[in-house]
């Protein structure tokens, strides 16, 4: 930011200096020449006045021309040629000064029909003055550029530093740092943004506290209800009918898994990413597939898992399991045929693209219609009479671990979860995969 502001202001100052400096340089060059020629013309006027003063009543020079007064007016290194009428009826010529002028600057005037003055002076002094004038203009332009650069540096720092502070503060807010900052920068727009960030910090912090309290209350109520259900199932586990006992034991296992899932989700929501760790995606999803196998078998369908144990990612286990479970449940309710869960490694494309872990969940059903596809991840939207929370929750869980959940294919439906790859050194790729 600072570099762009600095370069922009310097570019404007440089353009202004060129637009003003070039015409000013040309004007100074012509002004020096005009001043020099005006001086020569003034000398010629004084000389002509002196010669006219020496003419008699007859309008001619009698007894010879007095050149002493003329010699004083000739510039150093110059040459004056005087042509004047004499009493003998012819014209006389007198040269005053050096014999030859190098690269002369010439000015001449006519004195009637038979007289003239021609003054030659070296052009070197005039060229020196012209160069000095051009140098002075260049110094003024350079001084303007230096002053503009100083102003640009101060302005860039004054604008860039506050904007960087505001951006850092917004980044801290996104990371969960809800501390207020009383610093203001004297720039109305940025101070307004800081005020809004303060208000947003207080509001978000309050909402998170209320949501966490609500999550705690809801989880407590769910655990209480699940405990009551488990007690009832425990009573059924001693029933004399073996079939009832088997169903009761299976139901108690489901209740236990649901209780553990609730505890893990509540803990991960409060840990803010601290539960993320390196894990084998296939091993983690194997338990999810095994849990959903009975439901698929009852529906007369198959649920299969393909992948390599070596594919690893950095994620929160409970979030990953719950997100994939939502996709498997969605395929069971709205899909048909075999549901396939594939774990594979997607290589990066381009110098800045990193490889990602892709978990694909697809079935052989009719898929998602073109009208519903843009809205399936919206919370509360459902076309099948469900709550419309599942897919929105799955996407939120995946994004909380820096991943991405997309609908890769509409017919038949194919959902894909993208997660950062765990490197061999143990450092996970941060940020959302692209």
**pLDDT value at residue 222:** 78
Same-domain pairing of 340 and 316: yes
Same-domain pairing of 262 and 284: no
Q: Is residue 319 part of a domain?
A: yes
Same-domain pairing of 229 and 318: no
Q: Is residue 405 part of a domain?
A: yes
In this structure, what CATH number is given to the domain that contains residue 359? 3.30.565.10
pLDDT tens for 190-202 read 788 888 888 888 8
**pLDDT value at residue 17:** 81
Q: Is residue 153 part of a domain?
A: no
Same-domain pairing of 295 and 420: yes
Same-domain pairing of 305 and 366: yes
394 CB-contact burial (10 Å; exposed 0-12 / middle 13-18 / buried 19+) = buried
Same-domain pairing of 187 and 84: no
**pLDDT value at residue 281:** 93
Query: Which of 228, 247, 272 finishes a domain?
Result: 272
Same-domain pairing of 424 and 401: yes
Using CA atoms in the order 71, 73, 75, 80, what is the torsion angle rounded to 10 degrees?
Answer: -60
The arithmetic mean of pLDDT across residues 157-166, rounded, is 78
pLDDT tens for 6-19 read 788 788 888 888 88
Least confident interval from 25-39, 53-67, 243-257: 53-67
Q: Is residue 105 part of a domain?
A: yes
Query: Which of 256, 272, 288 finishes a domain?
Result: 272
Same-domain pairing of 217 and 250: yes
**pLDDT value at residue 429:** 39
The arithmetic mean of pLDDT across residues 172-187, rounded, is 75
Contacts of residues 193-198 at CB distance under 8 Å and 24 or more positions apart, as own/partner, are: 193/166, 194/166, 194/169, 197/166, 197/169, 197/170, 197/173
Least confident interval from 14-18, 106-110, 352-356: 352-356
**pLDDT value at residue 113:** 63
Q: Is residue 238 part of a domain?
A: yes
pLDDT tens for 299-319 read 999 999 999 888 899 888 888
Same-domain pairing of 417 and 330: yes
Q: Is residue 300 part of a domain?
A: yes
Domain tally, the chain: 3
**pLDDT value at residue 432:** 38
Phi/psi of residue 83, nearest 5 degrees: -115, 120
Does residue 415 carry a pLDDT above 70?
yes
Same-domain pairing of 298 and 342: yes
Query: Which of 257, 272, 287 finishes a domain?
Result: 272
Same-domain pairing of 297 and 419: yes
Instruction: Name the residue range of residue 418's domain.
Output: 277-434
The arithmetic mean of pLDDT across residues 64-71, rounded, is 80
Two tokens, residue 156: 């860039």
Can you give the pTM of this predicted structure? 0.49
Same-domain pairing of 247 and 319: no
Q: Is residue 140 part of a domain?
A: no
Q: Is residue 163 part of a domain?
A: no
């Amino acid at each position: 930011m600072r570099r762009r502001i600095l370069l922009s202001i310097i570019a404007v100052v440089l353009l202004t200096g060129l637009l003003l400096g070039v015409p000013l340089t040309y004007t100074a060059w012509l002004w020096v020449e005009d001043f020099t020629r005006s001086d020569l013309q003034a000398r010629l006027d004084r000389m002509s006045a002196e010669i006219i003063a020496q003419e008699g009543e007859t309008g001619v020079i009698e007894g010879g021309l007095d050149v002493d007064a003329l010699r004083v007016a000739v510039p150093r290194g110059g040459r004056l040629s005087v042509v004047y009428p004499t009493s003998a009826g012819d014209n006389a010529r007198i040269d005053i000064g050096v014999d030859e002028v190098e690269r002369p600057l010439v000015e001449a005037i006519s004195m009637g029909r038979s007289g003239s003055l021609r003054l030659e002076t070296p052009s070197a002094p005039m060229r020196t003055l012209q160069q000095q004038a051009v140098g002075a203009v260049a110094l003024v332009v350079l001084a303007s550029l230096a002053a503009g650069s100083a102003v640009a540096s101060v302005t860039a720092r004054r604008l860039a530093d506050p904007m960087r502070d505001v951006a850092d503060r917004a980044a801290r807010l996104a990371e969960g740092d809800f501390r207020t900052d009383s610093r203001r920068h004297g720039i109305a727009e940025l101070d307004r943004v800081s005020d809004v960030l303060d208000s947003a910090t207080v509001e978000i912090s309050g909402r998170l506290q209320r949501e966490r309290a609500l999550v705690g209350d809801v989880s407590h109520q769910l655990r209480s209800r699940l405990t009551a259900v488990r007690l009832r199932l425990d009573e059924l586990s001693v029933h004399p009918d073996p079939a009832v006992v088997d169903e009761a034991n299976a139901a108690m296992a489901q209740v236990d898994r649901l209780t553990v899932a609730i505890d893990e989700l509540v803990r991960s929501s409060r840990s803010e990413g601290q539960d993320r760790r390196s894990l084998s995606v296939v091993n983690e999803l194997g338990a999810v597939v095994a849990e959903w196998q009975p439901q698929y078998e009852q529906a007369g369908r198959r649920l299969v898992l393909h992948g390599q144990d070596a594919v690893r990612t950095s994620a929160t286990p409970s979030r990953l399991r719950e997100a994939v479970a939502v996709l498997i449940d969605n395929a069971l309710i709205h899909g048909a045929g075999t549901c396939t869960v594939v774990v594979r490694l997607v290589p990066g494309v381009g110098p800045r693209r990193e490889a990602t872990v892709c978990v694909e969940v697809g079935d052989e059903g009719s898929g998602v219609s073109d009208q519903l596809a843009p809205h399936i991840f919206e919370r509360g939207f459902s076309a099948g009479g469900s709550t419309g929370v599942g897919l929105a929750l799955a996407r939120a869980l995946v994004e909380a671990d820096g991943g991405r959940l997309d609908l890769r294919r509409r017919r038949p439906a194919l959902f894909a979860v993208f997660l950062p790859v765990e490197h061999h050194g143990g450092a996970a790729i941060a940020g959302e995969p692209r």
